[in-house]
Amino acid sequence: MFRKTALIALALLLAPAWSMLTASEDQALLHFKVLGPNGRPLAGANIALEGQNPEHNFSGNTNDAGEVDLLAAEGDSYFVVWNSPDGPQKFDQAIPVARAPGAQEGKFQIQFKGAKKEAPSPTSILLDVKVTNFDGRSIPRAKIVLHGRKSGREFTGTTDGAGQTQIRVEKGETYDIRYLSVVGPYTVDEIDLPAKSRAVSGNLHVQYDDNTVELKNIYFETGKATLKKSSFKELDQLVYGMKEVEPKLVVEIAGHTDNVGGEEYNMKLSQSRAESVRDYLLKKGIAADRVTAVGYGYTQPVEDNSTEAGRARNRRTEVRILGGKSSD
């Protein structure tokens, strides 16, 4: 599969739209006149409005005059997509739908100029990337980074409203698959692309829990809730993420232990450690109502507590996102 970059001319006309559709108070009614690459009306074309919120997506087919009416949710912004025989072609500039009392109308004329195909390269591969959580829900506006272990080169892509993007990478490398979390790049998987592969395109499905991030480098004094200085770098990254990347984020600091020492002891220890992390965030300027602390003891293990390696994995601190994500 080749990458297609749609070239589209978009003009806003001030005349009101007309339609048999009826917009509710929180919707807009948009009328589109769609022209094909030859400048003539594009009849029978499936046109979609792809919102930042996937639940706000709308689509319809043009009539013989190349016209279609579509509803749009106020307060969202949309990309116009033509589901052409050669694949989806998307305008690279979003149409904002202002939030205002009552329904609004707009009339647009769009001309698709065709698609440019990216030539295949014998040394690279174009990956169609789909990003979801483990329940299968698409994750929009996720930044995916493929980090080459040998070269250190990074190739990135940001998903659209359907949780999809394309990333071209070089062959002959093993890549760590990362996403940009509130604590920085977080590795979720890996992919090996042999140099001798003849493939010019491929599919990559990335899955991760977009509501939970484990803090990898948080250390406490043995048997205590006192943070070691070696934890500060990771916590400062979280502070930066909550201030600069996701300034409305509300989180829970979840403390977990292994099963050594008994249930009551570990429940108290995990609660105290979670509170220590919360206190650090508050001292760094994070508002108190954005952070809660909960200790779970050893009730939520991720590995078998019968081995030292398993117990080490179970002793962990997590950031659980409760709300306020920019993608919500």
10-residue mean pLDDT series, the chain (328 residues): 33 36 68 81 81 73 86 78 72 64 64 63 88 90 92 88 86 94 89 90 92 92 94 93 90 96 95 97 97 97 94 95 80
Residues 123 and 135: their CA atoms lie apart, in Å, by 35
Residues 3 and 210: their CA atoms lie apart, in Å, by 27
Residue 178 and residue 280 in one domain: no
Per-residue CA distances from 250 to 132, 186, 285, 316 (Å): 21, 19, 14, 20
Cβ burial 62-92 (10 Å sphere, 16+ → b, else e): beeebbbbbbbbbbbbbbbbbebeeebbbbe
Q: What is the pLDDT of residue 201?
A: 87
Q: Considering only CA atoms, which of 106, 133, 102, 112 is closest in space to residue 32?
A: 106
Q: What is the pLDDT of residue 304?
A: 95
What angle is formed at CA 271 by the lines to CA 268 and CA 277, rounded to 5 degrees? 140
Transcribe 78-104 into DSSP letters: EEEEEEETTEEEE-SS-EE----SS-E
Domain end among 62, 84, 116: 116
Residue 198 and residue 244 in one domain: no
Q: What is the pLDDT of residue 322?
A: 94
Residues 89 and 82: their CA atoms lie apart, in Å, by 5
Please, is 205 exposed, middle or buried when counting C-beta atoms within 10 Å of its C-beta (0-12, 13-18, 19+)?
Answer: exposed
Domain end among 187, 207, 227: 207
328 assigned to some structural domain:
no
Residue 168 and residue 148 in one domain: yes
The CATH number given to whatever domain includes residue 236 is 3.30.1330.60
Residues 16/29, Cβ–Cβ less than 8 Å? no
Residues 120 and 115: their CA atoms lie apart, in Å, by 15
Q: What is the pLDDT of residue 38?
A: 74
Domain end among 207, 236, 266: 207
Length of the chain: 328
For residue 294, give its domain range: 212-323
61 assigned to some structural domain:
yes
Residues 276 and 269: their CA atoms lie apart, in Å, by 11
Per-residue CA distances from 122 to 126, 151, 172 (Å): 11, 18, 11
The CATH number given to whatever domain includes residue 196 is 2.60.40.1120
199 assigned to some structural domain:
yes
How many domains does one find in the chain?
Answer: 3
Residue 151 and residue 93 in one domain: no
96 assigned to some structural domain:
yes
